[in-house]
Structure 1
Amino acid sequence: MNALLGVVFLLFAAVPCIQGQYEDARCKCICPNPSVVNATTESNRKHYIGNVPPNKCNCDSVVLAKVGDLIKGKEQEFCPRCECKYESRNTTTIKVVVIIVVWAVSLLVVYMLFLVCLEPLISGRTGKSYQEHVDEDESHQMTTTQQGGVLDRVGHQQDKWKRQVREQRRNIYDRHTMLN
């Protein structure tokens, strides 16, 4: 358990130190392959991404800076085939959402571990203090749950549920009938 807590602590301590190589805003141009302008048969489209201001999000600023040598003299033929879009995103919001999801999953895992550790206590106590009866009356149930603590009540409900499941299985598989 201490090792798990140590790993979780190290992960959360390392998160602020990790710097991604991304920008919140970018210009993304989708253009044909430069070989299309040079009259070859390849017609795949390529993505060109540049970090430029919104007013410079065009073929001249983003694409020609990267493939200018391949299409010299044919820029007017190549650039109209490009589609450029300026994209922006809020990475802070993305980080907050990811942290919330990680915390929710962590809480569910801790709750599951708590229930796994609690089950032996419940089954151990209910086995000693409560004998299973096929025909049980409501007054006996009320006195048992009032006298016992929370664990006894939870164990009693769990035993009741297990009996109902056994009865349903017996009715369905042995008698081929369904309960209402």
Structure 2
Amino acid sequence: MWHRVFIFLAIAVFLHCVAVEGQSYEDVRCKCVCPNPSVVNGTQSNRKLYIGNVPPNKCDCDTVILPRVGDDIKGKEQEFCPRCECKYESRNTTIIKVVVIIVIWIISLLVIYMLFLICLDPLLNKRAKGSYQEHTNEEDEANSNVGGGSSHAMGVRANVLNRVGHQQDKWKRQVREQRRNIYDRHTMLN
């Protein structure tokens, strides 16, 4: 059931991205970086960005920039245009959106997994501390549980929880030790 819901949501998000793509973004553009128009008059030298949606053969100063700044640089076009750098760029916003959506899904799944582990931690610690039995001999345990199948299953569950709890405690000790080593070494280097 959940598998179908996830597939449906993925298809819906993909179709929405494709529909929005044509409305708000351009996949091709001409990007020109030029000095401020006042530089030909000798007053400023800041750079300015001009973007136009033109075909690749029209990506130049005459087509993209002069219609916008023609009044500011009248008669000095030949001095202004060589200072401009125009590049034709092409990108695929659909791929960009799909990658972003996949990254968001992965982060969401990791957050859900983290929350699951946070909720599971108190249960493991409570059961592991309450039902700890020292494991001495497998034959003794097998002989004592021959008549009680349900107590044997309960013992196996407790044993698994004890092992998981033990591994978790061991991991926490290792993390504490690593932190202590890192902070000690860091203070020694400073």
CA separation of 1:70 and 1:89: change in aligned 2, threshold 3 A:
same
* Match 2:39 to one of 21, 25, 36: 36
Any conservation in 1 of the 2:27–2:93 contact (CA below 8 Å)? Answer: yes
Q: Distance in 2 between matches of 1:78 and 1:67?
A: 10
Q: Deviations over 1:9-58 (max 9, x none)?
A: 9xx7xx75866743111101111111111232x11111111010101000
Offset from partner CA, 1:57-116 (integer Å, 9 cap, x none): 000000001101111111111111111000111111111110111011101100011101
Q: What percentage of residue pairs aligned between the two structures are identical?
A: 65
- Within 2, Cα distance between the matches of 1:111 and 1:77? 62
Shift in Å, 1:152: 3.6
Within 5 Å, give how 1:109-128 maps onto structure 2.
Answer: 109-128=111-130
Does the C-alpha gap of structure 1 residues 111 and 164 become closer, same or farther in structure 2, counting only changes over 3 Å? closer
Paired position in structure 1 for 2:106: 104
- Determine which structure has the larger helix proportion and give its number: 2
Cα 1:83–1:163 change in 2 (3 A) is closer
Determine the C-alpha separation between the residues in 1 that align with 2:105 and 2:49.
Answer: 36
Q: Measure, in 2, the Cα distance between the counterparts of 1:58 and 1:127.
A: 74
Gap runs ≥5 in structure 1: 1-8, 173-180
SS of equivalent residue, structure 2 residue 34 = strand
Confirm whether residue 157 of structure 1 aligns to residue 167 of structure 2: yes
Q: List gaps (5 residues or longer) in structure 2.
A: 1-8, 142-152, 182-190
SS in 2 for 1:130: coil
Query: What's the C-alpha RMSD, in Å, of the aligned pairs?
Result: 3.1
The question of whether the paired residues in 1 share the 8 Å contact of 2:33 and 2:48 is answered with yes
8 Å CA contact 2:25–2:93 kept in 1: the answer is: no
Aligned length: 146
Give the TM-score taking structure 2 as reference length: 0.65
